[in-house]
Chains A and B, each alone.
Chain A
Amino acid sequence: MINLFLKELRLNRNSFLFCLIGLSAVIILAMFFYPVISSNMDMIKPFLESPMMNNLINAMVPDIANLQSPLGFFATYSGVFSLMLGSIFAIGMSSKMLYMEEKEKTAEFLLAKPVKRTEIFFGKYLSVIVLLSAIFLGVCAASLIGIEMVGGQAPLSVLLSGSNRSALSERVSENETGVSRFFERNEDNFGQFVMSVLSAQMEGNEERIKSIGIDMERVSELLPMLEENPDNLFDYLRNNLDAVSGIVPGNFTEGELVEAIEEREAEFRRMKKVYLNGGKEFDELFLADPEYFLSQIKDSPELRAEFTEALSLGGKFEADVFIKYRPESLILYNFYFYLLTVLFASVGFFISAVSGKFSPFGISIGVVIVLYLLDTFTKALSGIRAIGMASPFRWVDNNVASLSYSPDYLNIFLFLVLSGIFTGAACLVYRKKDILV
């Protein structure tokens, strides 16, 4: 049996590699769209929520908001493709296993050898399972790489987008005690905060700054001084008025310049006072640049939990913004993918065992496509949604972005039992089948 098993592995090596590379490419490439979709969620959302699109989206994700987290995005885009491609590959490869021996008449060679039909069957079956397991591992690796490349590296501003950002500002303004107590604030990091706010304001406003005529080169010369000690900056400006006059176009008198500097300084001192004192007033500063503050607490699970709980933002916010993705959720989702491919492989063997002289490929691919459409169409139409439970695609839990995503043992059991039934039935049929060559 080992002999046969090894031969099947060798014989299917190329199609296996083809499938693995294809799936990995689909997964990784699709993830590159994540930052674009996620950071423009505000723009896309009304479109997605229109009645027509809503039904389509429902077919793919449990909740539109899911698109915002790297995992939810993965399950929506890459997941949809890889489930389909993986299933077609699994059923195509397995239904070919027995059929090709009959069609190419090599069965006459194989069956004249001292092997039991059961051994032939399981030698082939195991080789398919091993290849599918390798694809499972490959898909796990590809999806981790894909997510890590875009999700893992994504700045908080990407993660903190759309509904999450609006929820945050809403909850912060509702909160009575203010959020200052969660963050470390002192003379030293005030400079960094100011810098962060400035760069956040400048980002995306480059055109406007240019049209006013502000000399950015001059400004960037002054910035290091601002970060080091803002107080010194104003003293420096007062003593070097010509440095200021070049920044903004137009002729200003010395008095006007001093006045402007002092005005800014007063504003600045007030801001610093608020920053250091905290209290409700601080919330305004927080909302001016939440990424700056949230990045302070993102690495501490206790602080994160405390913060989201105090503002009652919920687990999804925490998952989206801080955790980005849970590798175990990703593996579990891919494990469902694996179970699905194993089930379709078993179905493929069954179709191939009962199909006689007719090619099983058409039926096999048809089965996958019909079950896939059954799942998606019934998801889109809420009235008949339950009918989709008959499709194994539905048993893949795609609510992967949820923090409470955990194995659904009933579905896993269903996958395993059905795979077993189809495999057993296929083997029984094959054992007593006349092989006409």
Chain B
Amino acid sequence: MRRAVLIAVPYLWLLALFLVPFIIVLKISLSDIALARPPYTPQLDLNEGWAGIRAFFAGLDFENFTFLSTDDLYWKAYLSSVRIAGIATLCTLLVGYPIAYGMARAPLEWRPTLLMLVILPFWTSFLIRVYSWIGILSSEGVLNQFLMGIGLIGEPLTILNTNTAVYIGIVYTYLPFMILPIYSALEKMDESLLEAAEDLGSSRFSAFWLVTIPLSRNGIVAGCFLVFIPSIGEFVIPSLLGGSDTLMIGKVLWEEFFSNRDWPVASAVAVVLLLILIIPIVLFQRSEENAREAGR
């Protein structure tokens, strides 16, 4: 009985906060745009009883999804989102791994402080932190002034409003999600394994490749998914730091919703995005399961 209650709690949570909103979005994506409030038809009218319900279901169709496949803007946006998220994830890994490694090898008494420092940025609003990058990256920004000040460059670099700025923004924002799982994998690693590898004739560098990397694989995989999945749908970073040629599905979705007020198409975009994201999520879960089995 207690078990059933305990299991029911997360399921109810998922039902209320994920499944119900998803069904609502799915319903809107199957509706048609209308100049009304809310701006779509059909509406479910329960007062008319059975006839009303039947009329409601008759009004739903896949028109919006067909539209998504005919306009190349959408699939280009999806593709570009995946590419940007992929490159940004790789950059985050390259930046995050050494940080996590350093933390895991730091003296024991330092580690809580270092962890704290990694988590600390979350205490400030995400929006403000991304905004402040505008001040750093713009042509009169801190970075350009510094680089010109030391004479490294003659004229300001154009970083803001390019994909580079988006990468910087994503790496900066999602770095903790990369560091924490890698750190926890590296911290668990027995250092005598590296000594054993060296003792058996491998150099420090090859010991790192042969032992440290394989043993932190689970952390790397978890970190990559934790960065990749939210960055595909990222909206704030590309709209604040990206340029007119930065095409990301989050931005498209926003425009459909608020500029065009086309809720049904926006909902269809969201549903397709979710379906795309299900692939990495399933992969992630499978790798977690493997990790759990191997860890036993």
Asked if chains A and B come from one complex, the reply is no
Residues on A lying within 8 angstroms of B by beta carbon are: none
